[in-house]
Amino acid sequence: MLRTGMLSITFRQLQPEEIIGLTVQAGLEAIEWGGDIHVPHGDVSAAKRVKQLMDEAGLVVASYGSYYKAGVNDPDGPAFEEVLSSAVALGAPAIRIWAGDKGSMESSPEWRDQVTSDLIRVANQAEQHNIRIHLEFHGHTLTDTLDSTIELLEAASHANVRTNWQPLPHLSYEQQLESLDGVLPFLADVHVYYWQGVVRFPLSDGSVSWAAFLDRIRSSAVSDCFAMLEFVRDDDPGQFLEDARVLRRLLES
């Protein structure tokens, strides 16, 4: 079942209360909370406060958008234990993480093994709390191409690990559709936006493409998938509300 939502990092400049208010106004169902600003990694009290606000607003926590990078030994990055504690306090059913910090073309077999091993480790930890691991589908990581993403998922071979999907802007529509078809057996959530290169456009400009993407998901065996708005034109709340109307209309059609 496809459900609507948004990523809080769409409006890093707003407070959680403002984001929740916008989400309710937009008629969306869920929010993925970012771990960089709104629900900082390891700040359990902030996570509990946001969970209470969500409960009061009748909204669902879709996931916890962390900036944990599997396989990366970064003293300035969050420890997974911090990430997990925030996700538990937030009541998040999933944690979004990154598949390392190197693109597939520059990664050695040893690096892939390091990322895979850590991915399995964190998936096991999260599973103890009934929390899934969702990979960010993104450039400069091991999920920067369809083939590399599938290779990583199959190497991990962990029932608690899935991948998000988004239409990478540098790909053609046909290539975007191919990448979606390829990850459908592993699909978690979808990030919804319409970009041409690095330029953001109203979602309505990409409604034909998104109708096809969402139809593919609906026709598959994917269940409990959130289609979540991310990064609107000019970071404009008004554009967000308009994009939300388009998203709702696409899911109703």
Q: Please compute the mean of the pLDDT values over residues 34-59 and round it to a whole number.
A: 98
Looking at the predicted structure, is the pLDDT value of residue 222 above 90?
A: no
What percentage of the chain exceeds 70 in pLDDT?
A: 100
- Domain span including residue 197: 2-252
pLDDT (tens digit per residue) in 66-82: 999 999 999 999 999 99
Global confidence as pTM: 0.96
What is the pLDDT averaged over residues 46-53?
Answer: 98
pLDDT confidence tier of residue 28, bands split at 50, 70 and 90 = very high
pLDDT exceeds cutoff 90 at 221: no
Instruction: Identify the pLDDT of residue 157.
Output: 97
Query: What mean pLDDT comes out for the span 91-115?
Result: 97
Torsions phi, psi of 240, nearest 5? -60, -45
CATH code (residue 20): 3.20.20.150
The encoded tokens of residue 64 equal 């916890």
Both tokens of 230, joined, read: 């991310």
- Answer whether 53's CB lies under 8 Å from 17's CB: yes
Domain count, the chain: 1
* pLDDT score recorded for residue 188: 97
Task: Write out the E strands in 131-235.
Answer: 132-135, 161-165, 187-192, 195-196, 199-200, 225-229
Q: What is the pLDDT of residue 224?
A: 86
Reply yes or no on whether the pLDDT at 153 is more than 90.
yes
pLDDT attached to residue 62: 98
Residue 69 and residue 118: Cα distance in Å, rounded? Answer: 9
- Asked whether the predicted pLDDT for residue 2 surpasses 90, the reply is yes
Instruction: Give backbone dihedrals phi and psi of 12, rounded to 5 degrees, phi first.
Output: -60, -20
